[in-house]
Chains A and B, each alone.
Chain A
Amino acid sequence: MFYTVVSYIDNKYTVRYNFDSLKRKGKFMGLKVEHVNKTYGTKKVVNDISFEIDKPSVYGLLGTNGAGKTTTIRMILGILKKDTGEITWNGKEVKRKNVNFGYLPEERGVYPKTKIYDQMMYFAELKGVKKAKAEESLKYWAKRLEVEQYINMTPEKLSKGNQQKIQFITSIIHDPELVVLDEPFSGLDPVNTELLKNVIIELIKNGKYIIMSSHQMHSIEEFCSDVLILNKGETVLKGNLKEIKEKYNANRVSLSTVENVDKYIKELGLEIYNSKDNDYIINISNEEEGYKLINKLVENKVKVEKFEIMKPTLNDIFIEKVGENK
């Protein structure tokens, strides 16, 4: 509320305005990265990168190995010093004391010989969380990520995937506003990947701002609203994922038939991208070509099991963008 009613006498309101909240209303809420640069020696690792997250969502930071994702993340968290530019959270410079953030580094790390409970409490305490609250949080997330039976063990006895889940809990045990996940899915099996995806969706529902880096496009496509593709420190593509995809024409048809239909495809002058046991992926230059193909198949009474006109995936866009910059 911007004002509070102090009294109501004889149909007259006395009101006190909350100017602070009025001011805040006009201010940008969220993370803002503006014209950030980083150079190692003579090598420009990050060149003039800018983006912002203004609502609880996942922001995807994509790029090949060595594109500058981790450097960007480290600069956002203040572990590395940026050369120029500004990084702010709710208008304030991003610093440990200004932002309650959680971080899952790309380099996975836990104390191998210290009881998981002890190290979790240590990190929670450093983040200023009360013991009871931290215990409650640990209990919840350990159960959610199916590692509760390991809490009193040392990590060296755990599988890599479970260690990773433990470290993930470390990054969110203090209920941070901004969560930075550097390659969270690397090294996880499909079951655990699914588990972690659900947890991330839960975090967004709870109003968290999430930055996630990855070079696995399909893992990000499902829940990233905005993405930024980096290549050798340069921003090659940036924006709302849906809008980006809409700009692209349909480029493929996925087709499954009972019989071999090579001849019909060739008659229309289309190129088969991939085929196996009458399952086809066919290149098209627009949707019209796709409709022509299905018409032809229907005319010839071909039994069609599946027909889909496909838009390029993030993976296709990524390869195209990064490829052309090589």
Chain B
Amino acid sequence: MKDLWIVASYTIKDMLKKRTFIISNLIILIIIIVGFNVPNILNLFTNSESSGESSSSRTLIVDEANIFEGSLESLNSMDLGVTYEISNENISTNDIKSRIIDGEIDDAIVINETDGKINIQYIVENMAMMNNTVPETIVNTLTGIYTNLQISKLGLTEEELASLNPNFEFELQQAEEQEVKGNILVIMILSLVLFYAIYFCAYQVSSSITTEKTSKIIETLVTSTSPRTIVLGKTIGIGIVGLLQVIVIVAVALICAYVCLPEGVLESVLDLSQITPTLGILTIIYFILGYATYALLYALTGSTVSKPEDVQSANGPVAIIAVIGFYLAYFTMMNPTSDLNVFASIFPFSSPFCMPFRVMMGVATPAQIAISIIVLLVTIVVVASISVKIYSNAILNYGSRVSFKDMIKMYRNKDDSND
């Protein structure tokens, strides 16, 4: 037990001191901080371009023929975050374009009438940003103003006017009883993040074990402590580092989200009421259990190789299991009330990527959570016993890769773990 902690703490210290580890984490943190500040950074540029003027955009509306009969002035009182400059003069398109490029105005709307048809041109700096269509808000706003202008000419009563403007209320309903909360896209992104966190932490165990074999330190190590202690100590050590890493990254991301993002952006993608301490604890539990499952599988494959060039192919099967597990969780999440998603949340190789989000969406029952955790724990114990056994037998194998047949033989081999 004492040795277990010695191995784990050595693993932790060794990882934290590695330059590659420090640099890669710094890069991740920088990407997160920069990512959350993209809106602010963009603002900074646009602000400096308009040399300190108000940050709201400016739109020029040219209505030379006065088709809207002055009703366009009402736009400025609508509080659309845009300052409208309405002109009845004849300004050439080229003039407008140069004013846009100079940054004097952001865009322009030119209204003309030819052959009884009202033609509205929307001029922007670059069409690509507009998805090649005129934004619906502009179309709807202008249509609304023009319609109101024409209606007012009809001399209708208040009631008649009111009846023309429909007062619809739209509401979404579902046939199933269970209600799914949250934005599915955000949940899928979070699921992907959790998958990568678990997968890469677990992968470290494999590379750490193979490094010990390739550097031949293993023989000194197994005469110092038992193979079981080495495998479990390493798994615990790397797991602790991984958990710390995830906690730091999530904490930085959350701080950035609150400090750097404009108000309301976070709430618009994430229902903050879904993020509860219970969810946090459950996510950590699933991270630990998922990590342990995959880390021990990787310990198994890592110990069957002795040359760095064999690592990739030996780890292949685990990677396939992980990818299948992840996609099972990922795609069934689109339909969280399906039986397949329930299965994915209990199946040990997919549940770590699935259950936390079912909890987040409010579709997981306590019984399902309990069963899934028990299944994971049993899997970990089974995988750990197999891994330790194979590891004990394979560590001194310096030749070619250990075949599957050899592995079965090693597993059947009577206690060789030399405690």
Interface residues in chain A, defined as those with a beta carbon under 8 Å from any beta carbon in chain B: 74, 77-81, 95-96, 101, 103, 105, 107-115, 118, 122-123, 125-127, 167, 170-171
Contact = CB atoms under 8 A, between A and B. Distances in A.
B223 A96 contact: yes
Interface in B1-29: 3, 6-7, 10, 13-14, 17-18
Contact of B222 (A79, A115, A167): A79
B21 to A, nearest CB: 11
Given A80-B396, A81-B418, A107 B14 contact: no
B224 A109 contact: no
B181 interface: no
Contacts of A113: 18
B3 A118 contact: no
A114 B419 CA distance: 26
Nearest to B230: A126
A36 to B, nearest CB: 15
Given A81-B416, A81-B418, A109 B6 contact: no
B416 A105 contact: no
Contacts of B196: none
A79 B392 CA distance: 9
Interface string B206-227: 0000011001111111111110
A78 to B, nearest CB: 5
A96 B226 CA distance: 9
5 contacts: A78-B418, A79-B219, A101-B223, A127-B224, A171-B220
Contact of A105 (B18, B219, B419): B219
Contact of A79 (B14, B212, B216, B418): B418
Interface string B375-398: 000000000000000000000101
> 7 shortest A-B CB distances, which residue pairs?
A109-B216, A105-B219, A109-B217, A107-B216, A126-B224, A103-B223, A122-B10
Q: How large is the interface on B (under 10, 10 to 19, 20 to 34, 35 or more residues)?
A: 20 to 34
Contact of A103 (B17, B211, B219): B219
Interface in B392-419: 396, 398, 416, 418-419
A107 B224 contact: no
A107 B398 contact: yes
A122 B9 CA distance: 10
Contacts of A79: 219, 222-223, 396, 418
A107 B418 CA distance: 20
B3 A107 contact: no
Contacts of A111: 14, 211-212, 215, 217
A105 B216 contact: yes
B308 to A, nearest CB: 12
Nearest to A78: B418
A1 B6 CA distance: 38
Given A105-B216, A105-B220, A109-B216, A126 B6 contact: yes
Contact of A107 (B10, B219, B226): B219
B223 A109 contact: no
A19 to B, nearest CB: 31
B225 A109 contact: no
A167 B226 contact: no
Interface string B126-156: 0000000000000000000000000000000
Contacts of B219: 79, 103, 105, 107, 109
Given A81-B418, A96-B226, A110-B215, A167 B10 contact: no
B212 to A, nearest CB: 8
A95 B415 CA distance: 14
Given A74-B396, A96-B226, A126-B6, 20 more contacts: A79-B219, A79-B223, A79-B396, A81-B416, A96-B223, A96-B225, A103-B219, A105-B216, A105-B219, A105-B220, A111-B215, A113-B18, A118-B14, A122-B6, A122-B10, A123-B220, A125-B6, A126-B3, A170-B220, A171-B220
Interface string B276-308: 000000000000000000000000000000000
A81 B417 CA distance: 9
Nearest to B2: A128
B220 A103 contact: yes
A77 B223 contact: yes
Contacts of B226: 96
Contacts of B3: 126
A126 B225 contact: yes
Contacts of A103: 219-220, 223
A103 B7 CA distance: 19
Nearest to B219: A105
A122 B233 CA distance: 13
A112 B222 CA distance: 18
Contacts of B211: 111
B417 to A, nearest CB: 10
A74 B218 CA distance: 13
Contacts of B222: 79
Nearest to B229: A126
Contacts of B220: 103, 105, 109, 123, 167, 170-171
Nearest to A106: B219
Nearest to A174: B224
Interface string B33-47: 000000000000000
* Candidate in A107, A112, A122, A126 with the most chain B CB atoms within 10 angstroms: A126
Contact of A96 (B215, B217, B419): B419
* Candidate in B18, B215, B226, B418 with the most chain A CB atoms within 10 angstroms: B215
Nearest to A182: B219
Given A74-B396, A96-B225, A113-B18, A118 B13 contact: yes
Interface in B189-217: 211-212, 215-217
A108 B216 contact: yes
A114 B418 contact: no
A170 B221 CA distance: 10
A81 B392 CA distance: 11
Nearest to B217: A109
Nearest to A156: B215
A67 to B, nearest CB: 18
B1 to A, nearest CB: 13
Given A79-B396, A126-B6, A127-B224, A109 B14 contact: no
A112 B215 contact: yes
A122 B416 CA distance: 25
B414 to A, nearest CB: 8
A286 B10 CA distance: 63
Contacts of B10: 118, 122, 125
Contacts of B7: 126
A230 to B, nearest CB: 19
Nearest to B395: A79
Contacts of A125: 6, 10
